[in-house]
Structure 1
Amino acid sequence: MRISIRVKWTSLISAVILAAYLIVAYVAYQTVDNVASASVAHGFYIKLIWVGIIVVIAGIAVSFAAVTMVLRNIKAINETIDDLNKKPDSDSRIKLRKRNDEIYDLTININKMLDRMQAYTNQQKEFVEDVSHELRTPVAVLEGHLSMLQRWGKDDPEVLNDSINSSLQELKRMQSLIQEMLDLTRVEQIDNEYLSQTTEVKPLFKQVYNDFKMLHPDFVVNYDDDIQDGSEVRIYRNHLEQVLVILLDNAFKYSGDRKEINLAASTNEALLEIVVQDYGVGIAKNDLKRVFNRFYRVDKARSRKRGGNGLGLSIASRLIEIYKGTITVESVVGSGTVFRIELPIVQDGIDADQESDDTNSKKSKRNSKKARSH
């Protein structure tokens, strides 16, 4: 049989109040009985009974009101969750008056959790829509060529050759898209073991620089190395290399007529700063805020011709974010684009930003002690 929480807690609180009163009443009656006459003791006993009845009634009323007030807040939480179960896309949130208690703290945390869940749901929905949109074009192209070949094109060697080449090109683009989607999925599910690994910066940058210099002999690649020997950052080596490859690959891809790329890296006591600059087509101001979005391409037609799927920068941004770094972009249309990355340096096994947080925490504790002493 289901018993309401209101009944349970009202009964429990009332029982506690009654038990406490009976103990106090018993001690009081024994004391009066020892020092007073029988008639006085009897009158005191009658009064204790009436006061007991009043205390029990008042206890029930007060406990019922208190439990009802708490349950009203829980009911608001429950109604909001029911609303979200019925309408997952609803933006309903729990509304309570600001109070300095645990239920208000719980409400804040639940609302934050709902905000994150809705953000993830929206991202997933957008991701599925974008994937469907991106795959629709190559599938339609393949279907068109195969239908044409089935009807009449297979008898014409020139048409047959063109259709096969176009179909293979679309298949390669689909393969590239699927691989990038898998990369993006892996980025969202990085194991904790990777998060604790460190990478020495200088050798990695030299390797990436030499690789791209060999791959693009027709380009001038300027490398400004201001990295202190032995500098390390807390990021898995392959992930840092992946970010550099994405940025440099985009720089070469969109360089335009001026075939020159700048790669710069420097370290100080706290940060590793990376700069990748090209002198290409640039990005319009309205597009800068969206270049890290999944599947976003400034010029879809031109990006498709150059093999872009609009996932590379999203992968790079997410990787840097996971490892507590920042990535920003500056660009002028027709003049080029500059990407900047900052990652915290590891100092004696401690991240620079963590060390700074610990220092601030210690200062705060010292100031707090001084304030109490005054």
Structure 2
Amino acid sequence: MNPLLSRLQPYPFERLRRLFAGVTPNPDLRPISLGIGEPKHATPQMLKDALAAALDTGLTGYPATAGEPALRQACAAWMQRRYGVPVDAATQVLPVNGSREALFSFAQTVLDASKPGATLAFPNPFYQIYEGAALLGGAQPFYVPSVPARNFAVDWDSVPDEVWARTQLIFVCSPGNPTGAVMPLDEWQKLFELSDRHGFVIASDECYSEIYFRDEPPLGGLEAAVKLGRPDFKNLMMFTSLSKRSNVPGLRSGFVAGDAALIKSFLLYRTYHGGAMSPAVQAASVAAWGDEEHVIDNRRQYREKFAAVTPMLAEVLDVALPDAAFYLWAGVPASFEGKVAGLSADEAFARELLAQYNVTVLPGSYLARASGGTNPGAGRVRMALVAEPAECLEAAERIVRFCREQSR
């Protein structure tokens, strides 16, 4: 077996199952899960209709890894509408089977483990695919801390020069998972300058870009490049998906766009990897990328939920409305530290909340790694407000009661 497999860490939800082993949730309350970021809003009918219509003819041949021209053009047209960024559909766009698969395989395309100290850097806390991609690519992960006092901005200045010198790839996530923080233009400029100096590639994970709570939509990586006079997108690739935007995580459809040279190499890798998208999925994806009405309605639903739930939880937890995404990144009361032997405060909070109120949240320490002696997720929990409004409100009410009872 590949010895690098032994370096992989347990996935957060595996750790959560272990944490909850032996816990009997309150049987008088129906279970509500805020633990997994799986969209629950209805899938748009027009998308389902497009998928169904394509099934008759879409399964009889092998699809091209590069995707159909109609899909690449739909993706490029969306980039122009959403960001005002022109991309060449033939050379700067590539369909992928969801951003998760693409982020992982892109790292395998870029990383050169034959070079001593090959490093992949990414924010801490993070989406665990970043770490797995580094480890299975034979690289060293470098965990860059987020700063709560700066709205969880990633502290790129804390990365030593010797680490930048051996970095081959960085993952950025904006809007961030789990914090919801959006990277501003000056932060992009800093990363572009570092990339020019050290030669590393920037992979920008933007799968939450269409769920936001401010008037201004989140800045995208390619958009930032154009604003800063980098229309060739040198050493830059953005990743996006229909999963959150269009409520179709089971469709496994997204695309990457950026540096044409990177696209060419990634396409070569994917041709051998078997990364072609089903023609039926491509047809549904064309319909989805071409429609904004369902996206606007989806965003409205999230805004209404967060407007109702966030003030309630802010009475008992350290939490505020994020810039974007569908998570609340909440600090738990200090009284939970040391409450249960052998557990961190966020673990104790999650375990006791399940037992007493049958609500599942994810301990923040499971989404981060200790770096410099500190786990930046410790003392926080991630809550995914993906369910229907009534269910999210009921979960919030239970959490408020739980916290108030614990403080007596």
TM-score (norm. length: structure 2): 0.22
Greater Rg by CA: 1
Higher helix proportion (structure 1 or 2): 1
